[in-house]
Amino acid sequence: MHGRKIGAYRVVRQIGGTTDDREARHVFLAIAQGPAGFERAVVLKCQPVAAADDPSFADRVVREATVYARLTHPAIVQLFDLFEAEGNIVMVREYVHGVALSELLVALRRARMRLPDPASFFLIARIFDALAAAHAARHPVSGEFTPVIHRDVTPANVLVPWDGYAKLSDFGMAKLLGRTHDSAVGIIKGSFGYLAPEQVLGDPITVRTDLYGAALVARELLTGCETFPREGMPELEYLQRMAEPRLLPLDIARPDLPAPVLDVFRAALEPDSDRRAVSAMTIVDVLRSVSDLERGRRVLVDVLTRLREQSRRVTYEQPPPRVQRIEPAEDPTPPHGVKSSRPFAAAVEHAGRGAIARHPTPGPTVSSVPPASVPALARRETIRSLRSRRRALTRGALVLVAALSTALGYFVARSLPQPALEMAAMVAAAKPVPAASSAPPKPAPPTPKPVPTAIAPLDKGYLRTPIKAKHHRIFVDGRFACVGGESVLLPCGPHEVKVGSAGKKQQVFVPCGGEIAVAPKW
């Protein structure tokens, strides 16, 4: 495959495609060459000129190229050429050196991380900026207003290069308004998990359909969770869930976001397309007003750089400093330096667990010690591995015991009736004071510092109360929870908190897997 010529382009390797016999599509990374050693990396998308049972197949390929030709925007992947070669229609598109947003999200979830808000705002602004350009497209000759509807805005179709300037790609399902044959009755065009209700129900598709899909991607970036996880759900039930969405509002999932951002995404995620009264450019303007997008790009580049370095450390193993002999192994495996199939996600998964990246024994075993000491080294490596695993299990057990103890104390405190607690406080206050003696009084013991809370489970978080309110009772949702200076494990979400009987009620949001401090209000 390497060195093969398609037209004027030299193929480097295959980077995608399908194995469908009726619609065999291949995607190659290729090099465009010119005079004086000029080279440029491009992507070649090769599709058959016609399919045996689909005479309009070539029209669909040309329509996709036509859509690309009408869109010229820095946030949209560009089309360079379209030609026919070897019975295929070949589209030459811009090569984006980076990762897909879907890979970035999977890698961050495995590391139990979420993209910082400035970086998320920048990516969201790029997606909606691209949609604004597509929705305002015009015919290149007549100037007629012909909006382009992408119909498949998903993280997989957002390419994030290492410089951060994300681009929207894959307009293969795009619809040109004014062309009635772009849609077929009974066929849903789009990706599961990112379909608007009107796509599932077969209602008319408009530019507001793209806004809903892009808002789902934005919601995933801001919350760090998939909006519609399938989890083995039957297809019909899954489609029904997307047709009648019951999403947790962003006001509750992320109440710390700026109010204008919450307002525009509340409108963009409206299930009824007629009530989705917002435009892509409006969302971009709101994001620009609440965030420095250039700073967000720099934050994104910093995240990508760190993850890329982790990827290199996982996928490449440094050779030993001294090499004396090479002995063939009994079970050959890929040699040093061969990349894994998903190096980016694997790197972040290792980084998130805090593990040291190690590869299986390579094919040729490189040794710098005499053969007699190899078993001793193997035993030493096995002992070190077992000790490391035992330490990890011990740490996990301690964290689990601490979490269970905190939860048990919380439930015991809540189970005690209110009069019993008040009686215990009165008895403690009525204890007799010891008589004064000639001996000098003993200094009072120092006030113990609060013990740090354990790691909270993913569906709960800790409420940390102030130490200066240690003589006051803390009420959560109208019930006694603890006394001041203690931490309480609560289900994540909004709660009503009051410090002391005379304190004012406060609304707090307990984050999942984290903690939040409450201050007294009298």
Structure tokens at 374: 């190899």
Q: What CATH number does the domain containing 194 carry?
A: 1.10.510.10
Q: Are residues 111 and 135 in the same domain?
A: yes
The boundaries of the domain holding residue 23 are: 1-95
- Residue 469's pLDDT is 74
Helices marked H in 374-456: 374-415, 418-429
- Could you give the number of structural domains in the chain? 3
Q: Are 165 and 245 in contact (CB under 8 A)?
A: no
Q: Determine, yes or no, domain membership for 512.
A: yes
* Residue 421 included in any domain: no
238-257 average pLDDT score = 91
Residue closest to 64 by CA, chosen among 3, 150, 141:
150
Confidence of residue 34 (pLDDT cuts 50, 70, 90): confident
3-state class of 434 per DSSP? Answer: coil
Same domain, 146 and 81: no
Query: What does the alpha-carbon distance between residue 474 and residue 461 come to, in Å, rounded to a whole number?
Result: 16
Answer yes or no: do 311 and 400 share one domain.
no
Contact 157, 178 (CB under 8 A): no
Instruction: Grade residue 441 by pLDDT with cuts at 50, 70 and 90.
Output: low
Q: Is 349 helix (H, G, I), strand (E, B) or coil?
A: helix
Residues 147 and 287 in one domain: yes
What pLDDT is stored for residue 257 in this prediction? Answer: 94
* Cα–Cα distance measured from residue 208 to residue 215, given in angstroms and rounded to the nearest whole number: 10
Residue 368 in this model has a pLDDT that exceeds 50? no
DSSP states of 178-217: T-GGG--TT---S-TTS--HHHHHTPPP-HHHHHHHHHHH
- pTM for the model stands at 0.60
Residue 63's domain is classified under what CATH number? 3.30.200.20
Q: Which two tokens stand for residue 94?
A: 């811009």
Give Cβ neighbours of residue 213 (< 8 Å, ≥ 6 apart): 150, 151, 152, 153, 154, 190, 194, 195, 196
| One domain, residues 139 and 267 | yes
In a domain, 332, yes or no: no
Based on the number of CB atoms within 10 Å of its own CB, is 23 exposed (0-12), middle (13-18) or buried (19 or more)? Answer: middle
Q: Specify the pLDDT at position 364.
A: 36
Residue 137 within a domain: yes
Residues 48 and 103 in one domain: no
SS (H, E, C) 360-374: CCCCEEEECCCHHHH
pLDDT of residue 442: 58
Q: Where is the domain boundary, 95, 130, 156?
A: 95
**Which residues, 6 or more positions from 130, have their beta carbon under 8 angstroms from its beta carbon?**
73, 75, 76, 167, 168
Let me know if residue 365 belongs to a domain: no
Residue 375 counted as domain residue: no
Asked if 253 and 169 sit in the same domain, the reply is: yes
In this structure, are 55 and 6 located in the same domain? yes
Q: Specify whether 134 is located in the same domain as 41.
A: no
Beta-strand relationship, 98-100 and 158-161: antiparallel
Alpha carbon distance 154, 150 (integer Å): 10
Mean pLDDT of the 233-252 span? 90
Residues forming beta bridges with residue 494, ordered by sequence position? 509
Q: Kindly tell me if the per-residue pLDDT of 180 is higher than 50.
A: no
* DSSP secondary structure letters along 199-267: HHHTPPP-HHHHHHHHHHHHHHHHHSS-SS--TT--HHHHHHHHHS--PPPHHHH-TTS-HHHHHHHHH
Cβ neighbours for 125, distance < 8 A, ≥ 6 positions apart: 283, 284, 287, 288, 293
Residue 423 lies inside a defined structural domain of this protein: no
For the ranges 167-176, 313-322, 429-438, the one whose mean pLDDT is highest: 167-176
Least confident stretch, 114-123, 229-238, 405-414: 405-414
What is the largest distance, in Å, between two alpha-carbon atoms of the chain? 109
Domain boundary among 79, 95, 111: 95
Chain segment 76-104, per-residue pLDDT in tens:
999 999 998 888 889 999 999 999 999 99
The pLDDT value recorded for residue 141 is 80
For residue 402, give the CATH number of its domain. 2.60.40
Highest mean pLDDT of the ranges 4-8, 44-48, 210-214, 407-411 = 210-214
Give me the count of residues in the chain: 522
Residue 475 lies in a domain: yes
On whether both 45 and 90 belong to a single domain, the answer is: yes
101 and 91, same domain (yes or no) = no
Same domain, 153 and 124: yes
